[in-house]
């Protein structure tokens, strides 16, 4: 039998259609479908408002097929998944990251070929502006808000597992560098009530974080971890930080953290780890390409992170696969 006839086209067809499924969800979130249905079931005409009813019905039926909506007669309602993760008012919402993906990442990914050829991010090619890396993410207050809401939603999925990945009971004060809305600091405090915790992040971010951090629960300290002195701590954390930067900047930051820690102090890292042979997992590969198009960084194996930690002076490090969107590494100062 011809070998070509044995090949299965299913994976290719699935990938051809994959962006269509994503975009259907993006559009439904952007158009407020799941927010409106939080008020109760509605038909396509109601949801279309002054728009095209037939086109809205097609989108709604597609969302039924994607298990995001349920349909009874001509009325649509949210599934449990949509109620929890796609309503903007849900405490666990991922809508912020969906909107960021729709408005920013979807357009950046359209220029992946250029990123691969040139080995650099695509902000200038896609949007026509350059500047410091996070000025792109935080170009306006709304851009910043949607990005941080997205990170908060993902953080709620991963931070409890990251906080539980190692025994942190011997530490007394955690400072989460670039900790945004405080999801990791709060998860650590829930697991270790004795632990003092703080978030050290840009001033605009700490002001926004006040919406999420209960008064007196987590200290919010404004600052830039590259240029400002770090607060006192015996445990620092960096979640989804190291993968943003080039190796020289990572070593600079890790060295700064190492030098600020007391003997026996620790660094908790939350990143998605590539397998040692780099054959997976697929989410880490996709995130590494995402880093290519929008940052200076990439995803790495544990061995690569360990080598960077050793260059910065850390005596030992161990990994933990959490089964969530982020894995964990604990490094200790000798």
DSSP string, 109-120: HTTHHHHHHHTS
Asked if residues 198 and 220 have their Cβ atoms less than 8 Å apart, the reply is: yes
Q: Which of 121, 183, 243, 258 is catalytic?
A: 243
Contacts of 292 (CB under 8 A, 6+ apart): 112, 115, 116, 119, 121, 298
The sheet with strand 327-332 has its strands ordered as 219-222, 196-201, 173-177, 235-239, 266-271, 327-332, 316-320
For residues 183 and 96, give the distance between their C-alpha atoms in angstroms, rounded to a whole number: 15
Name the region of 178 (left: φ>0; alpha: ψ -120 to 50; beta: rest).
left
For residues 204 and 48, give the distance between their C-alpha atoms in angstroms, rounded to a whole number: 36
Tokens of residue 221, six digits: 């300290």
For residues 221 and 255, give the distance between their C-alpha atoms in angstroms, rounded to a whole number: 21
Q: How far is CA 276 from CA 193, 248, 299, 320, in A?
A: 35, 22, 12, 13
Told to judge if 194 belongs to the known catalytic residues of this protein, a careful annotator would answer no
* DSSP strand pairing (266-271 vs 316-320): unpaired
Catalytic residues: 243
């Amino acid at each position: 039998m011809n070998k070509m006839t044995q090949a299965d086209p299913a994976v290719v067809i699935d990938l051809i259609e994959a962006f269509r499924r994503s975009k259907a969800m993006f559009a439904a979130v952007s158009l407020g479908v799941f927010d409106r249905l939080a008020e109760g079931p509605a038909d396509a005409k109601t949801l279309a408002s002054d728009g095209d009813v037939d086109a809205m019905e097609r989108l709604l039926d597609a969302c039924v097929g994607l298990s995001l909506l349920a349909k009874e007669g001509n009325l649509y309602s949210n599934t449990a998944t949509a109620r929890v993760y796609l309503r903007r008012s849900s405490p666990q919402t991922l809508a912020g990251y969906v909107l960021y993906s729709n408005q920013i990442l979807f357009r950046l990914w359209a220029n992946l070929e250029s990123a691969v050829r040139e080995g650099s991010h695509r902000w200038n090619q896609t949007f026509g502006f350059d500047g410091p890396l996070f000025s792109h993410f935080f170009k306006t207050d709304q851009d910043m808000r949607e990005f941080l809401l997205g990170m908060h939603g993902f953080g709620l999925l991963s931070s409890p597992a990251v906080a539980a990945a190692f025994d942190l009971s011997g530490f007394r004060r955690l400072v989460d560098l670039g900790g945004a809305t405080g999801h990791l600091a709060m998860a650590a405090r829930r697991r270790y009530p004795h632990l003092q915790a703080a978030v050290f992040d840009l001033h605009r971010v700490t002001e926004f974080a006040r919406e999420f951090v209960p008064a007196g629960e987590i200290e919010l300290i404004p600052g830039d971890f590259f240029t400002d002195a770090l607060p006192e701590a015996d445990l620092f954390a960096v979640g989804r930080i190291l993968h943003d930067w080039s190796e020289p900047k990572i070593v600079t930051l890790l060295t700064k953290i190492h030098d600020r820690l007391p003997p026996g102090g620790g660094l908790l890292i939350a990143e998605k780890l590539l397998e040692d042979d780099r054959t997976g997992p697929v989410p880490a590969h996709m995130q590494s390409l995402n880093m290519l198009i929008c940052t200076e960084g990439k995803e790495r194996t544990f061995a690569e992170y360990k080598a960077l930690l050793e260059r910065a002076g850390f005596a030992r490090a161990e990994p933990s696969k959490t089964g969530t969107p982020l894995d964990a590494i604990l490094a200790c100062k000798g």
